[in-house]
Each structure stands twice: as C-alpha cells, then as structure tokens.
Amino acid sequence: MNDYLDLEDKELILLVKQDDRVAFTQIYKRYWSSLYNVAFKRTKDREQCQDIVQNVFTDLWSRRDKTAIDNLPAYLHTAVKFQLYKQISRQPQSALFLDSFEEIISSPIRADDGLKEKEIQHIINLWLATLPERRRQIFLLYYKEELSTRDIANRLGLSQNTVQSQIYTASRSLRTRLTHSLSVIVVISMMT
C-alpha cells in the first residue's frame, strides 16, 4: 500500500479503472477529508456530509470504467457540489441554498470538463438576460460585487426588504433553471 502513496492521481485513476481496490482506497484517504469539509461548510450537518461524500465515492467506484477524469480533485469537488444541489432541490424552502449559491456565483465554477463549464455559464448568462433590469442589477451587485443588501438599497434608493426579496426571487428562479439544466447535462454526459 505504501507504493500507492507516491502515485499521482492519474496513475491511481488508471488503476481504479482496472478494478484496483487499493488504488481506490488511496484516493478515498487522499480526498475524503477535503470533500467532507466542502460539504460541511454548506450544510453543517455531519451525518449528511458523510452521506454525501460516501455517495460521491460510491459513484466513482461504480462508474470507474465509464468516466473519463482529467482532474480528480475538480471532479470530486464538483460531484460533492452536485450532491449538495440534489439535497437542496429536495428542500426548496431551505435557506442553505443561498449560502451555497453565493460561493458558486462569486467563484469560478470548477468543472472537470471545460465544455460543461461553458454550458453552465451560458445558461446563467441566458437566465440573467431574462431578468427584469432592476432585479438583474440587484442580483449582480449582490453576487458579483459582493455588496450587502443594505449597501445595494442605499445605492439604488430602495428598501432593504425590497432588495432581499429581489435576491430571493432571482436565486430561486436560477436554482430551478440550474437544477433542470444540470440534470440534463449529467444525463447527456452519462450517455456519452
């Protein structure tokens, strides 16, 4: 097993594709903690985080011969985020989505496949174009420029409640659009 410690991710992935359980265990040990931390930052629920990470590794093993992985950390972190979105989509009333979504919008999307990243960005841009001008402006000030709702309200001459309501409405709309679109992308990628 010590020989596996020195192997790079790409070498481990090749061994996993050949049903090497020791290589899989090495990947598990190498990334479990960081994946758990990513999930825990968003949910604060230890049991749910363990389930999410376990689902990611179970999926990695069950699809080992079907999945092409160029960047293992990006693939695994994207898989955790997808598991989180599945959880969130089952609980639409959850305010957790806003915290998770804020990080995604304000940071680059880390997808293993550049085409998927472009598709997601294209979906977001199309969605932004459909928003009423004021809602789009509020949304971008909040998520892109990271202004507080109070600062946005002062800048635009609106009440803070109006700003919060517009952010909630826009975020909910985007969640619905992304959930549907990501499901389509995942199904298509599984077929190819």
| Apex 183 CA angle, 182 and 189, nearest 5 | 85
Q: Quick one: pLDDT band at residue 38, thresholds 50, 70, 90?
A: confident
Residue 92 has pLDDT above 60, yes or no: no
CA–CA distance, 80 with 97 (Å, rounded to integer): 14
Residue 107 has pLDDT above 70, yes or no: no
Q: Quick one: pLDDT band at residue 180, thresholds 50, 70, 90?
A: low
Q: What tokens appear for 46 in the block?
A: 């230890």
CATH fold for the domain made of 113-192: Arc Repressor Mutant, subunit A (1.10.10)
31: helix, strand or coil:
helix
Q: What's the confidence (pLDDT) of residue 30?
A: 93
Could you tell me which residues come within 8 angstroms of residue 175 by beta carbon, excluding any fewer than 6 positions away? 88, 89, 92, 97, 101
Q: Where are the beta strands (DSSP E) in the chain?
A: none
| Apex 80 CA angle, 74 and 85, nearest 5 | 125
Q: Where are the domains of the chain?
A: 1-89, 113-192
Are 76 and 31 spatial neighbours (Cβ–Cβ below 8 Å)?
yes
Q: For a pLDDT cut of 90, what percent of the chain falls above it? A: 27
- The residue type found at 139 is F
Q: What is the per-residue pLDDT across 110-165, written as a single tens digit (0 to 9) for each?
A: 444 555 566 677 777 788 888 899 999 998 898 787 888 899 999 999 999 999 98
CA–CA distance, 63 with 130 (Å, rounded to integer): 37
Give the lowest-confidence range in 77-81, 96-100, 140-144, 153-157.
Answer: 96-100
CATH fold for the domain made of 1-89: Rna Polymerase Sigma Factor; Chain: A (1.10.1740)
- Classify the C-alpha dihedral 88-102-70-9 as positive or negative: negative
Q: Which of the 8 DSSP states describes residue 70?
A: S
Neighbours of 59 (CB within 10 A): 14
Q: What's the confidence (pLDDT) of residue 89?
A: 57
